[in-house]
Structure 1
Amino acid sequence: MGAVSWDPEKQLGTFEYDRDFLKMGLDPSPVHMPVEQARIGEPRYEFRTLPRKTFMGLPGLLADALPDRFGNAVINSWLAGQGRTEDSFSPVERLCYIGKRAMGAMEFSPVLNPSIDRSVLVEIEELLMLAQTVINERSELRANLEPKSSEAMLNIIRVGTSAGGNRPKAVIALNDETKEVRSGQVEAPDGFDYWVLKFDGVKDNALGDPAGYGRIEYAYSKMAVKAGITMTECRILEENGRAHFMTKRFDRPRGGEKLHMQSLCAMAHFDFNDSGAYSYEQAFQVIRELRLNYDAVEQQFRRMVFNIVARNQDDHTKNIAFLMDTNGQWRLSPAFDVIYSFNPEGMWTSNHQMTIRGKRDGITMKDLAEVGAEQSIKRSEAIIDEIVEVVANWPDFAREAGVQARQIKSIGETHRSG
């Protein structure tokens, strides 16, 4: 597709499309890096003013493949084992470290650690224990790892460095017949499907997730599907009294094919760390700029309404994504991270991350209906009523998922309906 260079003095990456790629008719970043512009001019892109914390000096197209909080913690632990500081590892080196294991279809070379780019059997309990160590001890991990744990460390690097988000998770391949679990960031043998697994029982005080979070997210996924929201298959993986939430990867259809993926953050350069800076109305604008059909607009409207009613206030611009098929056609991805996320005392989830009619809180059903009218949503008020009714049945979804009674009550009390 192209090449990226890194200027250590400017702390800036410059991307250039490959001339042969420009002839293929694919547009992997049409909003800010359109190939048509590259064909008629200098096919180089750099973005000096993008927030460094989020984009790290790279265009959104590439920054989307960088690991987030947990993935970076894993990489930084590996760096400590190599005698390097995290500041000595440039963003381009981080991409090369990800190599073939990025979410979506992009791959990066030269690969810095090729030994981890192979499919191996993994044990969930072992991965969970090491994930907790990474969360607790970060840079001190090296001193606490026994020599026999070096392979375990490689395993968590294999499964835990590329999936986005803050919460500890693993990208796995699961064989339903044999129940084997393998690393899922590279191609697995026939018979395996690809999943993202979120660890239950890994505690991070910065996030304040309740115990049993996997069951809560599973109940939410069932509730969202009932509300007409498109999601891939979700499951609970029971293991030693824990319930890990799993969702099938939508960028890896069975057979090992890869689909190119871009978050709204990457596509539009909407910084997901800038709470309240961007709106759902702007998300609809991008959907139209990509020339997606009416179904995509209505689907995003349903997701917006659900987030408001069910208190998913972790609704930032990385939690909306788009997929491009092999013919270059874009579509809205299935929903993901559809979760209960509300902490009135929290820095992030005390308010919604994206605004509606200029509001991050105090959003009413009237506000939602007005957005529906602005976006020409058919039956918008009926859709709102339908979703409110589905969320009112939260206790039923929660009990079926095995959520604790006290959590059912406390979560239900925060849902919106007026």
Structure 2
Amino acid sequence: MAVIETYVFVHLAEGPVPAGILTMTDEQRTQFSTFAYGRRYLERPDRIPVDPVALPLTGGSADQTFRTEEGFAVFGGIRDAAPDGWGQYLMYKAMGDRTPTEADLILASGDYRVGALAFGPTPAQPKRITPWGEGDAPGEHFNLAELAEAAERAQKVDLLDENLRKLLTAGSSLGGARPKAATEIDGQPWIAKFQAQKDTFPECRVELATMRLAKDCGLDVPALGFENILGRDIYMIERFDRSMNKQHRTPFASGLTMLAAHESEVSQYNYRDLAAVLRQHGTMVKTDLNELFKRLVFNILVTNDDDHLRNHGFLYDGDGWRLSPLYDVVPKPQIGFERRLVLGVGPQGRDATLVNAIAGAPDFDLSLEEAEAVTAELAGTVANGWEKAFREASINAADIARFATCFREAQAS
């Protein structure tokens, strides 16, 4: 049995503050964690929950120890701060023949992790603990060309060499499946996403075009950027959990965490559940419910079937939780006419139709007439604008024709 203990820090106005102690236990047949807030942290007027659902501050005391539910190795709010997909891929290659544990993923995630949490072996300050024997690299900055080249090479080797450590520092902290790394533009933190070896279409350009289209539809979209360096496409999105003052970090929680959901159960949830989260924890409920409905409709209109709970985020605004800006929206060409989203849409379950979405309008505090008007406006913008957005992203005619199947619902409206 392996037991690993770490302090959990929360970045507040003054910097990282120890919030409590996390203990991760890995037994032969089960994994679980416990967490206890520190007394001093609970006495702070500016305290923020490490996990707003599983580790609430209300009624908590320093004598209370929380334990994960059965089947959960770690609390959702803490798991959000660890890498998945690409970050795990880099760690696997860095560690050679040893598979990283859940504890490895959390403790080795660096300063670029999403949200406001940090970890360390003592309450003095956060410290990255890496199983490959090399810690963080503070002060290192790499240009996009170096990162793009490293991301490409990392997909072709079995073990990361010293020249690829820069990518491990910049990219292993981040979530999501695609190759990516943290970078800066004029002092502001951004995320750069790169081509993947297995890409069958120019995914960086398609995501750029789709996110621009979402902005044209009035959705809350961060600043976007694009570069092509030495023939490599790089799509960039401004971080919404950081500011130019790098000490300021906004707490983040995924939809998975806010619903206390397990990864294996994602398809059992629906947009109505996310709406309920906003009603319970939100500070601008009406505004965010309207935004959530628009995102649901937009996902249908562009055939984005990667709308799982990790691709819905929430940010803490000092009083409660707001829907985060939009991210990770990419159409997927399909042959058939029937489409489904990952999450439930309306009374007809996961069927990705506008009729199904409109029927669920009351879940978003909308009348059927209001929902129909919103849907018609979005459908018109998408139908009339998607080809222009794709051309402006320099997507070739063959790929534009291929993606036309994604916009059938919009064009039929």
SS in structure 2 at match of 1:237 = strand
Residues 1:130 and 2:122 are matched in the alignment: no
1:8 to partner: Cα distance: 2.6
Q: Which of 298, 301, 317 is the equivalent residue of 1:309?
A: 301
Residues 1:155 and 2:137 are matched in the alignment: no
Correspondence for 2:379: 388
Residues 1:85 and 2:75 are matched in the alignment: no
Equivalent positions of 1:5-16 (< 5 A) are: 5-9=23-27, 10-16=30-36
For residues 78-131 of structure 1, the C-alpha deviation after alignment (integer angstroms, 9 at most, x for no partner) is: 112xxx511xx4322322211433211111113214742413231434433332
Correspondence for 1:318: 310
For 1:32, the aligned partner's letter is A
In structure 2, how many angstroms separate the alpha carbons of the residues matched to 1:361 and 1:269? 20
In structure 1, how many angstroms separate the alpha carbons of the residues matched to 2:313 and 2:34? 24
Contact 1:125 1:239 in 2 (8 A): yes
Correspondence for 1:261: 252
SS in structure 2 at match of 1:172 = strand
Residues 1:367 and 2:356 are matched in the alignment: yes
Correspondence for 2:111: 100
Question: For the structure 1 residues 374 and 329, does the alpha-carbon distance in structure 2 shift closer, same or farther, using more than 3 Å as the test?
Answer: closer
Residues 1:248 and 2:238 are matched in the alignment: yes
In structure 1, how many angstroms separate the alpha carbons of the residues matched to 2:119 and 2:137? 12
Correspondence for 1:286: 277
Residues 1:297 and 2:292 are matched in the alignment: no
Correspondence for 2:7: none
Q: Which of 164, 188, 195 is the equivalent residue of 2:175?
A: 164
1:153 to partner: Cα distance: 2.0
1:35 to partner: Cα distance: 0.8
Question: For the structure 1 residues 72 and 194, does the alpha-carbon distance in structure 2 shift closer, same or farther, using more than 3 Å as the test?
Answer: same
Q: Which of 200, 223, 226 is the equivalent residue of 1:233?
A: 223
Identity %: 24
Structure having the larger proportion of residues in strand: 2
Correspondence for 1:376: 365
1:195 to partner: Cα distance: 0.6
In structure 1, how many angstroms separate the alpha carbons of the residues matched to 2:228 and 2:120? 37
Indicate the larger mover: 13-22 or 123-132.
Answer: 123-132
1:28 to partner: Cα distance: 3.9
Contact 1:237 1:243 in 2 (8 A): yes
Contact 2:288 2:323 in 1 (8 A): yes
Question: For the structure 1 residues 165 and 350, does the alpha-carbon distance in structure 2 shift closer, same or farther, using more than 3 Å as the test?
Answer: farther
Correspondence for 1:180: none
In structure 1, how many angstroms separate the alpha carbons of the residues matched to 2:243 and 2:333? 33
SS in structure 1 at match of 2:228 = strand
1:31 to partner: Cα distance: 2.3
For 1:167, the aligned partner's letter is R
For residues 265-300 of structure 1, the C-alpha deviation after alignment (integer angstroms, 9 at most, x for no partner) is: 122222344452211111111111113321011011
For 1:373, the aligned partner's letter is P
Q: Which of 208, 211, 223 is the equivalent residue of 1:218?
A: 208
Q: Which of 189, 199, 203 is the equivalent residue of 2:197?
A: 203
Correspondence for 1:60: 76
How many residue pairs were aligned? 373
Residues 1:38 and 2:60 are matched in the alignment: yes
Contact 2:333 2:405 in 1 (8 A): no
1:344 to partner: Cα distance: 5.7
Correspondence for 2:124: none
In structure 2, how many angstroms separate the alpha carbons of the residues matched to 1:225 and 1:275? 27
Contact 1:353 1:360 in 2 (8 A): no
**RMSD, matched Cα:** 2.3
For residues 299-329 of structure 1, the C-alpha deviation after alignment (integer angstroms, 9 at most, x for no partner) is: 111111100111111000001111113x343
Contact 1:116 1:158 in 2 (8 A): yes
In structure 2, how many angstroms separate the alpha carbons of the residues matched to 1:90 and 1:70? 15
Moved over 4 A (4+): 342-345, 358-361
TM-score normalised by structure 1 residue count = 0.83
Q: Which of 21, 32, 36 is the equivalent residue of 2:41?
A: 21
Question: For the structure 1 residues 360 and 154, does the alpha-carbon distance in structure 2 shift closer, same or farther, using more than 3 Å as the test?
Answer: farther
SS in structure 1 at match of 2:236 = strand
Question: For the structure 1 residues 96 and 59, does the alpha-carbon distance in structure 2 shift closer, same or farther, using more than 3 Å as the test?
Answer: same
Residues 1:337 and 2:328 are matched in the alignment: yes
Equivalent positions of 1:348-359 (< 5 A) are: 351-357=340-346, 359=348
In structure 1, how many angstroms separate the alpha carbons of the residues matched to 2:150 and 2:229? 15
In structure 2, how many angstroms separate the alpha carbons of the residues matched to 1:350 and 1:376? 25
